[in-house]
């Protein structure tokens, strides 16, 4: 036993000497060069810091981008556990910007419960879409997320009656196998609907539109996490399956330009919308991020100059707080208006130009819990699209490894060993329960404020906490264009 102990000590000493020499003579890290061996612990503790903060040190409502209270709500909802709490709220109601819903003095009785009604999108399309749910799954591409993740989302969306957006990576068999409603996103690279030169192909558009499950097309102009920036799928990830789905050659880099090359003005954008709608026969909208009021004012003026039939059937408005698998930090942190600021401004402009009943507004960007969704509906949205909430429902632990192939829950990795942790038969029911829980609790809020349907909530039904700790009605901060917040 003593010999074993001496051997272990000797091995440790030998390794320490090797590391000492390596650290002393390397030139890339000043800390390790000046403090050999010991300096290595700084990197280790830095790497482990985010995990220790997540589990031990951060308070329930402190952590970013999503705090523990938000994630735990999704976890309980998706697992079917009760989301009732005891003793009192842990939320600090003095934080500026906090919405507080105004309960009705004489709310409807329980048998007059606020129930969601379907809403029509694209009334001028040959095949309009009567969307059953105000809460839906936003774009997450196959490639950015794994095969079992897409399968679970598709099956869960079907069970919950919500739509699933494909993201810009094209339509895979895994999107279709669950039988849910699908929104096909056309990204700047036209993946899935491109010819060999990378231009949009009408034949490919017709092939996609031939699927009854594909209900709408969304032309992606920008996303909240990286407005004005395209993306790249490295060629080593483009296997035969990905290549066939995206319309690439095996091993070819999948490069997304920062905009559609053929769209340089509002007029050309409206031309593109009209063309895709004519070829597919289905509703067509756009996804973008607000940077200024003037851009949207000019868009709505261009629509009215042509006539309301030229309008996009919907606008998905993403906030600067939106998520992605990978983006430069300056874009994630500093570019694009928050959905909290942008949504009421853009809906006011839409209504000011008489397009309220023509263009449906879809809000996106960190709207994960029922209060967030209810806020968006009251602020002017017709629908809410959520991505990261559904990732939490799939089992995401916010490991912050989406931009690598090491996601420990199998959601954003293509490593077969890690994907085994995501069992579709178990996870799809969590997806459905999460969606239904959000819908049910938003209906509960609507019932409390005294309206018969969640979309009937208005800005007058909310107060917003100010810097002095007092709250004032939201419609006094930014009045609706239809005073007094009329339907």
pLDDT in the model for residue 48: 58
pLDDT-based confidence at residue 426 (cuts at 50, 70, 90): confident
More confident residue, 95 or 377: 377
**What is the rounded average pLDDT of the residues 120-141?**
95
pLDDT in the model for residue 80: 75
**What is the rounded average pLDDT of the residues 49-62?**
53
Range with lowest mean pLDDT among 193-207, 253-267, 278-292: 253-267
In this structure, the strands spanning 314-318 and 129-131 are unpaired
Mean of pLDDT over the chain: 84
pLDDT in the model for residue 276: 98
| Placement of tokens 């002017």 in the chain | 380
266-304 pLDDT, tens digit each? 999 999 999 999 999 999 999 999 888 999 999 999 999
pLDDT at residue 467 is higher than 80: yes
3-state secondary structure of 472: strand
Neighbours of 387 (CB within 10 A): 24
Say whether domain 119-477 belongs to CATH 3.30.70.360: no
Q: Where are the domains of the chain?
A: 2-57, 119-477
Q: Report the C-alpha gap between 442 and 436 in whole angstroms.
A: 10
**What is the rounded average pLDDT of the residues 97-104?**
90
pLDDT at residue 322 is higher than 70: no
DSSP result, 70-127? HHHHHHHHHHT------S---S-TTSTT-EEE---SSPPPGGG------EEE-TTSSS
Calculate what percentage of the chain has a pLDDT beyond 70.
Answer: 80
pLDDT at residue 252 is higher than 90: no
Element spanning 443, H or E? helix 424-449
* Report for 35-49, 118-132, 461-475: range of highest mean pLDDT: 118-132
Using CB atoms within 10 A of its CB, is residue 26 exposed (0-12), middle (13-18) or buried (19+)?
A: exposed
Nearest 5°: the CA angle 356, 438, 282 is 45
pLDDT in the model for residue 487: 47
pTM of the model: 0.84
């Amino acid at each position: 036993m003593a010999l074993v102990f001496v051997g272990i000590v000797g091995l440790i000493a030998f390794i320490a000497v090797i590391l000492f020499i390596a650290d002393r003579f390397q030139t890339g890290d000043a800390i390790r060069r000046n403090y050999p061996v010991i300096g290595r612990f700084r990197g280790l503790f830095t790497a482990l810091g985010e995990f220790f903060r997540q589990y031990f040190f951060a308070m329930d409502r402190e952590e970013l981008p999503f705090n523990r209270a938000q994630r735990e709500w999704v976890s309980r909802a998706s697992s079917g556990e009760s989301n009732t709490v005891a003793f009192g709220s842990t939320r600090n109601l003095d934080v500026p910007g906090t919405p507080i819903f105004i309960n009705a003095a004489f709310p409807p009785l329980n048998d007059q419960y606020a129930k969601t009604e379907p809403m029509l999108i694209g009334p001028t399309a040959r095949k309009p879409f009567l969307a059953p749910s105000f809460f839906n799954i936003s774009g997450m591409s196959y490639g950015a997320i794994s095969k079992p993740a897409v399968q679970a989302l598709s099956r869960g969306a079907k069970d919950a009656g919500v739509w699933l957006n494909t993201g810009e990576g094209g339509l895979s068999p895994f999107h279709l196998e669950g039988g849910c409603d699908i929104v096909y996103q056309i990204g700047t690279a036209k993946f899935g609907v491109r010819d060999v030169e990378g231009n949009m192909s009408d034949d490919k558009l017709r092939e996609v539109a031939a699927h009854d499950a594909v209900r709408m097309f969304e032309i992606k102009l920008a996303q909240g996490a990286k407005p004005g920036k395209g993306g790249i799928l490295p060629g080593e990830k483009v296997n035969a399956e990905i290549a066939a789905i995206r319309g690439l050659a095996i091993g070819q880099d999948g490069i997304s330009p920062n905009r559609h090359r053929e769209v340089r003005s509002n007029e050309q954008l409206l031309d593109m919308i009209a063309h895709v709608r004519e070829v597919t026969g289905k509703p067509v909208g756009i996804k973008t991020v607000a940077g200024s009021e003037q851009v949207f004012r000019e868009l709505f003026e261009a629509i009215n100059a042509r006539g309301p039939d030229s309008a996009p059937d919907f606008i998905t408005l993403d906030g600067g707080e939106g998520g992605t698998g990978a983006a430069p930090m300056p874009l994630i942190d500093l570019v694009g208006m928050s959905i909290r600021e942008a949504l009421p401004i853009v809906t006011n402009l839409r209504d000011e130009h008489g397009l309220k009943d023509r263009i449906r507004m879809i809000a996106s960007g960190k709207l994960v819990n029922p209060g967030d969704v209810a806020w968006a509906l009251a602020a002017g949205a017709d629908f809410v699209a959520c991505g990261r909430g559904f990732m939490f429902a799939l089992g995401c632990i916010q490991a912050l490894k989406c931009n690598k192939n090491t996601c420990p829950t199998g959601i954003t990795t293509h490593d077969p060993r890690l994907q085994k942790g995501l069992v579709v038969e178990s996870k799809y029911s969590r997806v459905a329960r999460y969606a239904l829980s959000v819908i049910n609790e938003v209906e509960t809020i609507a019932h409390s404020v005294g309206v018969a349907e969640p979309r009937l909530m208005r800005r007058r039904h909310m107060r917003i906490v100010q810097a002095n700790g007092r709250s004032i009605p939201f419609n006094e901060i930014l009045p609706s264009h239809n005073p007094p917040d009329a339907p």
